[in-house]
Each structure stands twice: as structure tokens, then as C-alpha cells.
Chains A and B, each alone.
Chain A
Amino acid sequence: MDLLTPELGLFVWTLLAFLIVFFILRKFAWKPILNSLHERETGIADSIAAAERVKKEMSQMQADNEKLMMEARAQSAQMLKEAKEMKDSIINKAKEETKVVADKMIADAQQQIQQQKMAALTEVKNEIGKLAVEVAEKVIRKQLATADSQNDYAQMLAEEIKMN
């Protein structure tokens, strides 16, 4: 039974030591440690939540970007298509206009050539006529050089007139 009877001395020392340890540790150890632990845990939880939020925002942003890209791509495709059409139409129009102008120029040229040709022909004709008249004059002059021939001719003309 000796073992089971508490001794006052040891009891008092234990009580004293425990209380001293308790108050010192409470103030200088447990409070800062527990506060730090709590702070760290809330900090980590906050960080995780923030990271989650940022991740969500990022994915949202990415989706937005994707959409914008799609729109931009569609727009550029549209623009390209329109530009191509415009180019084609411009080329076609230009071609047609050129053709018209060229045709006109060819027609004008042909007309002018025709005119020049006619003018040249007329001139040639006139020249030939003149020459013929001159030749005829020369021939006639030669034939009618003598008085007899003049008389004969005059006679013949007179006869002709008479006959008419």
C-alpha cells in the first residue's frame, strides 16, 4: 500500500512545475505555434481557392479568346473572299473596257484606212484621167495638126451632129 499513498511533497512540486510550465508555454509557445498553424492553414486554403478561381478565369478567358479568334478568322476569310470577288470583277471590267476601246480603235483605224484608200484611189483615178486627157489631147493635137485633118474631123463631127 505504500505505493498507493500519494506524498504531499511530490504532489506540490508537480503541481507547481506543471502550472509554471503551463503558463509559460501557453503564453510563449502554444499561442504563437497554434496561431501560426492556423494562419498557415487558412493561408493555404485561401491560396488554393485563389488558384482555383484563377484557373476558372483562365479557362473562361481562353474560351473567350477562342471565340474571338474564330470570329476574326471568319471575318478575314469573308474579307478575302470579297477582295477576290472585287479583284475578279475589276479585272473583268477592265478587260471588257479594253476590248471596247480596242474594238473602237480598230474600227476607227479600218475606217481611216478605208478613207485613205478611197482618197488614194480617187487621186489615182483623177491622175489617170488627167493623163488620159493629156494623152488624148496630145493625140488629137497630132491628128488635127494639119488643115485637112481638121476639116475632115469637123466634117465628121458635123455629120454626126447632123445625123443626130
Chain B
Amino acid sequence: MRSGRLFSLLALTFALSSAPVFTYAQHEENHEAAPVAVAEAAHEGHHEEKKEGFNASEVIFGHIGDSHYWHFFDVNEHPVSLSLPVIIYHPEKGLEVFSASKFHHGHESYNGYMIDPNSKMKEKIISEDGAKIIDFSITKNVLSMIISVVLLLTIMLNVAKKYKKNGAMVAPSGFQNALEPVITFVRDEVAKPNLGNKYMRFMPLLLTVFFFIWINNLLGLLPGGANFTGNISVTACLAIISFLVMVFSGNKHFWGHLFNPPGVPLGVKFLLVPIEIISLFIKPIALMIRLFANILAGHIVILSVISMIFIFAGLSKVAGWGFAPVSMAFTIFMFFLELLVAAIQAFIFTNLTAVFIGQAVEEGHDHDMHHEDYHAHNPETGQEYNVSKQEIIA
């Protein structure tokens, strides 16, 4: 029991984002012969699987998916979790709000709603009458986002207050000092090179995007944290915002080049214009998929490495213990890598947003004379764009 607890502690400390695994560790060590009395919710389905052994994919997908519970750990097979509010819009019955605890971890239906038992990867609420319902629940991801928003607002407003209180000519101190280089980095390395003299107009958007993604990436790395930025709904939302900003700030020169590229023969135009239009939509899709895939992949890798301990433990106890240090070392390495990725992905998303907006607001040069130059002396833009295409392929 004691060694089991110690081991669990180790797992919690080092494999920070492995709360579901942590619960599994206890089960594996302590209750191997215990009967399955309480079944878990569908997303934590490893309880049912226990008889057959450890099911890594259940654990991993349980973690990276969204949920109507915030699950921390299990005590004697009873999950310790926070039941979150469910908000459902039914086309006939209208809006309904109740606690997810009413579902009793997916085993009871409530008011004609139930958790879809057929959906393995995702915890989905369906209506028993088969109606198309829209789920506006405060899920784990939404709650995580609300926490991040509160953090972000608290930090930034306090820092801003300090600027107002101290005036401009006082050297920054404390958290202000930590944030200032990041803000100036976004301004000098992201906004200014891509947006030229119009950078001040887009600075609030770029800074908000950067810090919003960054803080959510970091919160996602905390133990038991949600996989918020690794969810495609989130990245789609952010990508659409930057796409809309790009479209609505596009000037005449941008649209002119898009629909009627100057200096191109008519025949080529028929080929070029569709390609240009497709590339316009590829940009936000690239943004969406890059962030989603990077964060998701990070979470999956860390969880997989942790899961390996239990896969080995399923073979024999000795193998599990033996593999634990290797797995821990690799997890720690991955964790540092993910810390880096959290910042890098926030930067890349912001930078590409700036690049796309920069293309949209760029002032035209003399169309016919310097058209070639225009492409020649804008290598940065082209480079970034190539990167994004490669990443899609990857």
C-alpha cells in the first residue's frame, strides 16, 4: 500500500498530465482482485477494461477528449471528480441546464438525455428521442478556458495598472518585467516586420492571441489539465478569428491581386485565380491544424510514454517497475519539450496571423513596373508560407 502510494506520488509529480493514469496506478497496485463495483464514465472506460488489462488508448483518448466531469483521481474505485453543468439546447424543448452528476457517470439518462454509449473517443450527450441537440455545456475545456481567462485578465490588468501607476519612465519590476520582453518581442519581431507601419492597429489582437494560446497551452500541461488548445473546435475558432480579421482588413491591392493578378496572361488567370482563392482558405486551415495537431501530439506522446509503464506492468510487475525510470526520464524530457512547444506554437500562430494580415494590408507598389520586385523583396512572407504548407503535409 505504502509503496503503491509512493509510486502514485512519483507518477503525479513527474508525469504531470497523467491524472487518468494515476488512477489506474492505484487500481493496478492495490485492487487487482477487487470486483468491479462502480463503473466509470465512458471516457474513463478503463475500469471495464481492467479485467482484460491496461487499455492505453482508452486512457489517452479519455484524457485528450472533452468531458462533462473534471476527473482528478479515483479513491477505492470511486472517481473523485467535479461534475460540471450541462447546458443543452433542444430544438423543441428549448434550453436545459442541469448537473452532469445526474448522468451518474454515463449510466443513467436524465430528462431524456444520456451520454452516448457508442461514442468511444468522445463523450457525447445525445437525446433519447433522436433530436439534434446542441451541447453548450461548461465542459472541462470550457472551465479550463474560463480559468485561463481569469488568470490572463488578472495578470494583464495588474501589469497595466503598474504601468499606469508608475508612469512610463520608471523601470519595470516584478511580473511587469517578465511580460515586457514578451510584449516587445511580439511587437518588434512579429508585428513590425510583417505589418509595417500599420502594426499598432493589430497589436491588441496579436498580443491577445499570443497570450491566450500560450496560457492555455501551459494550463493544459498541468496535471489533470484539459487538452484545450489541442481541441479542434478551439483552434478552428481562433483560426476563423484571424481569417476574418485578414479578410476584413484586406485592401484593394490585396483583392485586386487575388481576383485579377496583374501582368498575367488571361489563360493563366483562369488557373491562378482558383489557386489563389484556395490558398486564401488554406491559410486559416493551416493555422487551425498546426496548433491542434502539435498540442494534441504532445499530450498523446506524454501519455503514451506513461502508459508504457502499465503495459509492461500488465506483463509482469517487475517489468513495470523496471520500465518506470526509463519512462519517467522520457516523460520529463517530453515535458520540457512541451513547455517549449507551448511558447513556440503560440508564437507561430501569432506570427502567421501577422503574416496573413500583413499580406492583406500591404500597400501596392507600381503594379506593372515592379511586380517582380514585389515578390522578390518579400522573401520572409514566402518562406513562412512555405513552412505552413509543409506543416500541413507533415
Contact = CB atoms under 8 A, between A and B. Distances in A.
A11 B153 contact: no
B136 A21 contact: no
B163 A32 contact: yes
A25 B156 contact: yes
A75 to B, nearest CB: 48
Contact of A21 (B61, B138, B212): B212
Interface in A69-90: none
Given A14-B237, A17-B149, A21-B152, 10 more contacts: A3-B232, A7-B66, A7-B135, A8-B233, A10-B139, A10-B231, A14-B238, A15-B237, A26-B204, A37-B187
Interface string A29-42: 11111111101100
A67 to B, nearest CB: 38
Contacts of A13: 136, 138, 142, 145
B234 interface: yes
B157 interface: yes
B183 A37 contact: yes
B388 interface: no
B169 A40 contact: yes
B242 to A, nearest CB: 11
A105 B95 CA distance: 144
B90 to A, nearest CB: 13
Interface residues of A, number: 35
A9 B212 contact: no
Interface in B32-46: none
Contacts of B57: none
Contacts of B247: none
B241 A15 contact: yes
A34 B122 CA distance: 42
Contacts of A30: 156, 160, 203-204, 207-208
B159 interface: yes
B145 A29 contact: no
Contacts of A15: 237, 241
Interface in A1-56: 2-15, 17-18, 20-22, 24-26, 28-37, 39-40, 43
Interface string A83-125: 0000000000000000000000000000000000000000000
A79 B45 CA distance: 111
Contacts of A12: 136
A106 B106 CA distance: 150
Contacts of A31: 204
Given A7-B135, A13-B145, A29-B156, A34 B168 contact: no
A21 B208 contact: yes
Contacts of B208: 18, 21-22, 25-26, 30
B201 to A, nearest CB: 11
B353 interface: no
B205 interface: yes
